[in-house]
Each structure stands twice: as structure tokens, then as C-alpha cells.
Amino acid sequence: MRTKNTIIGIISMTLVIGMLASVMAVGVTGYSAPVIVKPGESIDLAWRLQNMVGEDSYVVTTTTTASDEINLTLLDESNLYELAEKTEGVRVNFRVTIPEDIEIGTEYVISGSFIFSPKTEEGTLGIGSGIDDTFKITVGDETDDTNVITPPRIEAKKTSNLLPIILILLVLILGIIGYVHHRRHMHEVEN
């Protein structure tokens, strides 16, 4: 019984260590300062997606939301984006329109939710991860120049890749070999 508990403990520790050992960074670049928009005007903005570490490609599903008083429109054909390995700057384009009757100084929050799912072969299982990003729209006297404002902030999300699976399999094989060896040794001692 003690040997069985030891093997289960080793396998559990290996799973945890394996998941922490391999790191891959996917990220979303958003706006760190409020974006200024004049009442009655629109501004075209973009979040930028990146996948700079690792060897996996992703399909990113995007959901954007804003307060009911303002209009938020996704400008791309789909809310699904291909994010190949070693890629940055994939744009999620959208337009924010402020009604004419909104008071100067009013602030709104724009939210984006990004689900990163590994691009896998059909029938295989992949674990996705998500990143949420928000920024403020402030109603002002003049609309910001989109050539000047750029999303400077990166929010990286760490997720696992293939290395933990290899480590887990290696430890499982070694654990099974150790268990079989221990059972043979115990069997020889009894005889």
C-alpha cells in the first residue's frame, strides 16, 4: 500500500511540475490611457494579438462589449483570428461611435474577451486560455488621432505546451518500471 501511495505522489508532483515547467506567452495589447472621442464622432481602434514564444498556433475567439449608450462595431469579417507561432500585431479592428447628446467628461468602459485555443488536428483535444482587457473611452472636445495613440500595454498569459506531456509520460514510464522492479524484489524476498 505504501508503494502505491508513493507512486501516486510521484505522478501527482510530476503533473504539477510539468505544467509549470513549460511556458508559452500569448498576449493582447490594449490602450493604457483613456481614448478621447468627441460627441457625434467615431474612432477606429484595434487590439493587437501576439504569440511570441513557443511553437503552437492558435485560433482566437474575440468578444467585445461596451455600455448601451455607445455603439461598438467589430470591423473584421469574423470574430475568429488565426494567430500563428512567432506572430505579433494581428489586429482586432473595431469602431466606437459616441452619440451627439453625450456630455463632455463622460467615461465608458470597452471590454474585450480573447479565448486562445490551440490549433489542433481534427479529433485531438486542446486546452485553451483566455485574456480579458478593458480600457476607457472619455468623451472630450476633440477626438484622438489614431496615428498618435497606440496600444502600448501587453498582457501576457502563460499557458502550457508539449513539454509537460513528455515529462509526465517519462515519469509515468519510470514509475511503472520502478513499481515492477519493487514488486519483483518483494516477491523474491517472500520466496
Domains of the chain as residue ranges with CATH: 23-163 (2.60.40.10)
58 in Cβ contact with 117 (< 8 Å): yes
Q: Is the dihedral of CA 52, 87, 153, 115 positive or negative?
A: negative
Rounded-to-integer distance, Cα 17 and Cα 7, Å: 15
State residue 53's pLDDT score: 74
Q: 25-60, pLDDT tens digit by residue?
A: 678 888 888 999 999 999 999 999 988 777 778 889
Model-level pTM? Answer: 0.64
**CA contacts within 13 A on the Cβ side of 7:** 16
Which residues have C-beta within 8 Å of that of residue 36, sequence separation ≥ 6? 137, 138, 139, 140, 142, 143, 144
Q: 108-124, pLDDT tens digit by residue?
A: 999 999 988 887 766 66
